[in-house]
Amino acid sequence: MNVPIKTPDEIEKMREAGRQAALVLEMITPHVQAGVTTGELDRLCHDFIVDELGSVPAPLNYHGFPKSICTSINHVVCHGIPDAGKKLKKGDIMNLDVTVKTADGYHGDTSKMFIVGETIQGERLCRITQECLYKSIALVKPGVRLSTLARVIQQHAEANGYSVVRDFCGHGIGAGFHEDPQILHYDGYAPEADIELAEGMCFTIEPMINVGDHRTKVLRDNWTAVTKDRSLSAQWEHTLLVTADGVEVLTARSEEDLGFLEH
């Protein structure tokens, strides 16, 4: 497995890509409310990425994906396609996934959950899923194996009565949207794939956690992945850089409390 190690110049380009991706989520947050369509959210994100940031939305036309962001509502696990006819309603939970490709050709990939109105089950799922992400990020440093990150996610999810999606994973990222290595969120690594982290690696962690069974299926549009049992699913994602003594969250948003990283 050839895992790219970023040069200092590439790291600066990745920092800018991550900063831009975070800005998109910050921009769109006040627009996510009952009555808005996912198609409108897609338009707003697309225009902001192109007109304000001078970059391009990496998902658009990626292997034929038709939109600029992914909007995954309730039992949709990932890769939900924005739709001008799909309105958000009170009680919905939605993952909004953004990947920016900068003018320099580097990618920043991030997502967050939005809760529309109130939903006790949805709020708990979103909180535990974010905790899974943060617990794994806190372990990132040179010498740590990928399985260590996967185990803490699986253990925390299952301790709270949830399951971890196995059909989709995180990934290396840089000039390529998806690079090596694959980042599993459950303890399923083959020995040869369970590599040690090294300074200069960039990758995403993006756990998808279900209220019910972990199994998924892809709908006839060949993109939208849903839980087989139609239970709620949540996901949070960050792009990370392995530093000499820990981790840098390249897609950190201004409202986030990342105090858990202070060693």
Which residues are annotated binding-site positions? 79, 97, 109, 171, 178, 206, 237
Which SS3 state, helix, strand or coil, does residue 23 take? helix
Which of 67, 73, 69, 68 minimizes the C-alpha distance to 86?
73
Q: Does residue 16 contact residue 246 with C-beta atoms inside 8 Å?
A: no
Burial (CB count <10 Å: 0-12, 13-18, 19+), residue 14: buried
Task: Report the DSSP beta bridge partners of residue 112.
Answer: 96
| Six token digits for residue 110 | 């991030």
Binding site listing for a divalent metal cation: 97, 109, 171, 206, 237
Distance of CA 137 to the CA centre of its chain: 13
Binding site listing for substrate: 79, 178
Q: Does residue 137 contact residue 261 with C-beta atoms inside 8 Å?
A: yes
Q: Distance between CA 206 and CA 215 in Å, rounded?
A: 17
3-state SS string for 185-197: CCCCCCHHHCCEC
Exposure string (b/e) for 56-84, b if CB count within 10 Å is 16 or more? bbbbbeeeebebbbbbbbbbbbbbbbbee
